[in-house]
A and B are shown apart, each in its own frame.
Chain A
Amino acid sequence: MLEVNGLKKHFPLTSGLFSKVVSHIKAVDGVDFTLQKGETLGLVGESGCGKTTVGRLIMRLYAPTAGDINFRPHGEEGAQYDLGALDNKALRPVRTHLQMIFQDPYTSLNPRKTILDIIGEPLRLNGMSRGSELEDRVVEMLRLVGLRPEYITRYPHAFSGGQRQRIGIARALILNPTLVIADEPVSALDVSVQAQILNLLKFLQRELDLTYLFIAHDLGVVKHISDRVAVMYVGKLVELAEADDLYRKPLHPYTEALLSAVHVAGPAHSQGERIVLEGEVADPSNPPSGCYFHPRCRYAQDRCHQETPELQNVAKDRYVACHFAEELDLAGAGTT
C-alpha cells in the first residue's frame, strides 16, 4: 500500500550574511520500507533520529530531498501516487487518504473552536458535507471514539488530555483515511489513559480497516500495538522485523541496547544485563565514518569504522544494517 524507497531529507545549515549553505543536517538519509494494508508498523528510536521527519515526509509536510513514496489508497482501484513528486494542488485529493495524530493533545487543537468545528473541518475544507449532514457525521465520529454527542458545542479546554486525544483521533478519521500516521500519540498521557487510547486505536483499526505508522519511543507501547517494528538511528533504519522476532532476538546492537534500557514494572527482573550506551546520539550534520553507531557500539571492530553497512535482508522479513549481524548473539527482552 505504501512503498518508501531511498527517502532522504537534508535540511540546509546556513550561516553568515547571505545565508550561505555550510552543511546539511541529514535528518533522514536513505530509508526504505513498505506498509501492507491493515498492518501497524512501529517506528522507534531516540529523539533526533529522524522518526518524526519520516512521518512528516509521508504526510508531505516536507518535500523529500530524494527518494519516492509510492502510495496506493484504498477505494481507488489501480491508482498509485508518487507523493514525493506531486505538487500541492495534485496532493490535495490524495491527502484525504493520509491523516496524522499528534503527540500533544493540548497544543494540537485550536482553543477558539468548538469540537464540531475541529472534527468537522476536514469535511468542510474538502467540500464533502455541510450543515446538518456534517453534524451527523461528527456525532457519529464522537460515538466511535467514545465521547458523548452532547460535547459537540464545547471547546477544547473543557476536556482532559485523554479526551482531547480522542478528539484528535476523531478529526483524523472523519475522512475515512487509508493510512494514519500517529506521532507519539500516547507519550503525553498517564498510564491508565494511555491504555484506553491504545485500546481505542486497536479497535478503530479493526472497525475501519486502517493502516498505522506508529511513531514512538516507548518500546513497551510499540510492541503492544505493532505487527512489525523499524528501529532508526541517525536518519537510517538499522533494523526492521516482525515485532515478536525483534524483541525476542534483536540482530542490531543498537536494538539490543534499547531493549535492555527499558525498565520492566515487575518484581522479578526477567531481563538480563542493562547495557548503558556511552555518549550521545551522533550529530546528523557531521555523522561518524562507517557505521554511524560504531562509537557507541560495544561490538565495534575495525571494519565498522570504515564501511557503512547497508540494510540487508538476512532472513524472512528480517532486515538489519550491521556487518556482524549473523555472528553476534544478542539478548532480547524476556518473553513469557
Chain B
Amino acid sequence: MTVQPNDTLLEVKDLQTHFFMAEGVAKAVDSTTFSIGRGKVLGVVGESGCGKSVTARSIMRMVRPPGHTVDGEILYARAAETGPTTSVDLLQLPATGAEMRSIRGGEISMIFQEPRASLSPVHRIGDQITENILLHQPVSPAEAEDIATDMLQQVHIPLPEQRMGAFAHQLSGGMCQRVMIAMALSCHPNLLIADEPTTALDVTTEAQILELMQGLQADLNMAIMFITHDLGVVADMADEVAVMYLGKIVERGAAADIFRDPKHPYTIALLESLPRMDQKREWLQTIRGVVPDPYSTLSGCPFHPRCADFMPGVCDEIVPQPITLEDEREVRCLLYTEHATRETPPPAEEASHQ
C-alpha cells in the first residue's frame, strides 16, 4: 500500500466475523485485510450483504450475537498523551471495557445511514452531543455545551444556540445528518467510520454533506472509512478504494487507478452496470445471477458463477488469494496468476468502460 508503516492508523488483518444462525454459519466478513493511513479516506464499496457494515461494526466492537468476530487482528495506533504511539489490538480489549469505551465514540467514531433513526427522539440535540463530550473529555458541563454549540456552527447549522434545544423530529434529514456529524466529530476522532452517510439524502443535500466532510477532514487531519454502494461518491471522496464481495475484499488500490483501470471482473462489471450521464448506451451491462445466499459454500472463487471471465476447471476449484500487481493494486482473481488458462489477462482492456 502507499501508506508508510509508521503512518498507518488502523490495520485490519484477516478479520473474520461470522453469524451463527439456525440455517448455518453466515461468513459476513471472511478474512478481510486492509489498512487506513492517518488522514486518508478509504472507500469501501460493494452491494448489499457484502459485509461492508459488518466490517465497520467489527472495528467498533459493536457486533451483536448471533454475530461473533471469530478471528483476526484490528491494530489501532493509539497516540498516548506523552510518549510513543502504541499499537492496540481492539479485538483483545473487552468490548464493553473502559479502554474500548474511551476509544469508541472518542478516538474512533461512526455515523450511520439513517440519521433520524440514530438520534434519540426524546432528548434534545444539544444534550445528545454534550453527553458524548462529557464521556470523553475532562470538561465541565458548561464547557461541553460551548463545544457542542461550536460543533453545530462548524457543520453549518444555522442558529446553533437555538438548535441545541431542538428535537430530532424538528429537523430535516440533512440537518439530522449534520447533527450526527457534529456529534461524531465533537471529540476530534482520529478515524471516522461513515456507513452510507448520504444514501438517504437528496443529491443536493448529499453534495452539502460531502463538502462538509471533506472540509472537516482536511482541518482535523482525520481518517475516514467511507462505506457506500455509490461508486460515484467514492470516486470523488476516496484516496483508496476497497471493493467487497461476499465478505472478502476482491480489489484494493488507489481510487484513481481503480476507476481508470479496474482489474477484478466484479469491479469491472459494477462500473459497467451504472447508467452514466456522460455516456449514451442502449443497454446496460448486467451481472448475471444474484448474490448467493450467505450460507452457501461455493468452491473456488466466490464470484465464479457470475463472472464474465470464468475459467472452467480453474475458478471453481482454486480459492484465489490476494496478489499484488503493479501500482500496488491488490486483486483476488485467478486471471492474474499462473493458473490463468489464457495468455494475457484480457478483461481490463476488452471491457474498458470509457
Contact = CB atoms under 8 A, between A and B. Distances in A.
Given A195-B286, A267-B259, A224 B204 contact: no
B211 interface: yes
A257 B275 CA distance: 19
Contacts of B48: 190
Contact of A220 (B269, B275, B283, B354): B275
A276 B214 CA distance: 13
Contacts of A336: 278-279
Contacts of B207: 260-261, 274-277
A78 interface: no
Contacts of B270: 191-192
Contacts of B354: 266
Given A190-B47, A274-B207, A259 B232 contact: no
A199 B203 CA distance: 24
A218 B229 CA distance: 14
A293 B344 CA distance: 55
Interface string B169-190: 0001111000000000000000
Contacts of B86: none
Interface string A302-336: 00000000000000000000000000000001111
A277 B277 contact: no
A46 B233 CA distance: 18
Nearest to B174: A280
B286 A258 contact: no
- Size band of the A side of the interface? 35 or more
Contacts of B234: 265
A276 B215 CA distance: 13
A268 B274 CA distance: 16
B265 to A, nearest CB: 12
B210 to A, nearest CB: 8
Interface residues of B, number: 45
Given A195-B284, A196-B286, A199-B286, A267 B256 contact: yes
Contacts of A192: 47, 269-270, 273, 286-287
Contacts of A223: 275, 277
B277 A333 contact: yes
B177 to A, nearest CB: 12
B285 A265 contact: no
Contacts of B273: 191-192, 194-195
A289 interface: no
A153 B19 CA distance: 31
B203 A258 contact: yes
Nearest to B262: A267
Contacts of B73: none
Contacts of A260: 207
B95 interface: no
A171 B211 CA distance: 42
A263 B279 contact: no
A160 interface: yes
A201 to B, nearest CB: 11
Contact of A262 (B174, B232, B260): B232
Nearest to B273: A195
Given A195-B273, A198-B284, A264 B203 contact: no
Interface string A240-280: 00001001000000000111111111111111001111101
A17 B290 CA distance: 54
B25 interface: no
Contact of B229 (A191, A262, A276): A191
Interface in B202-232: 202-208, 211, 229-232
A220 B286 contact: no
Contacts of B232: 220, 262-265
A257 B278 contact: no
A108 B273 CA distance: 25
Given A46-B202, A190-B229, A266-B235, A221 B286 contact: no
A301 interface: no
B134 interface: no
Contacts of A220: 232, 274-277
Contact of A258 (B204, B256, B284): B204
A149 interface: no
A272 to B, nearest CB: 12
B262 to A, nearest CB: 10
Query: Of residues A191, A257, A333, which shows the largest number of chain B Cβ atoms within 10 Å of its Cβ?
Result: A191
A167 to B, nearest CB: 15
A263 B233 contact: yes
B166 interface: no
A194 B230 CA distance: 12
B41 to A, nearest CB: 14
A199 B283 contact: yes
B271 interface: yes
A224 B229 contact: no
A276 B284 contact: no
B342 interface: no
Given A190-B229, A224-B275, A266-B259, A261 B206 contact: yes
A158 to B, nearest CB: 11
Given A191-B229, A192-B269, 12 more contacts: A47-B173, A198-B275, A199-B284, A199-B286, A218-B275, A220-B232, A220-B277, A221-B275, A258-B204, A260-B207, A261-B207, A276-B211
The 6 closest A-B pairs by CB, nearest first: A263-B232, A224-B275, A265-B231, A267-B260, A195-B273, A195-B284
25 contacts: A47-B173, A191-B231, A191-B270, A192-B269, A192-B286, A194-B273, A195-B275, A198-B284, A219-B203, A220-B277, A223-B275, A223-B277, A224-B276, A262-B203, A264-B235, A264-B277, A265-B231, A265-B234, A265-B276, A267-B259, A274-B207, A274-B211, A277-B207, A333-B277, A336-B278
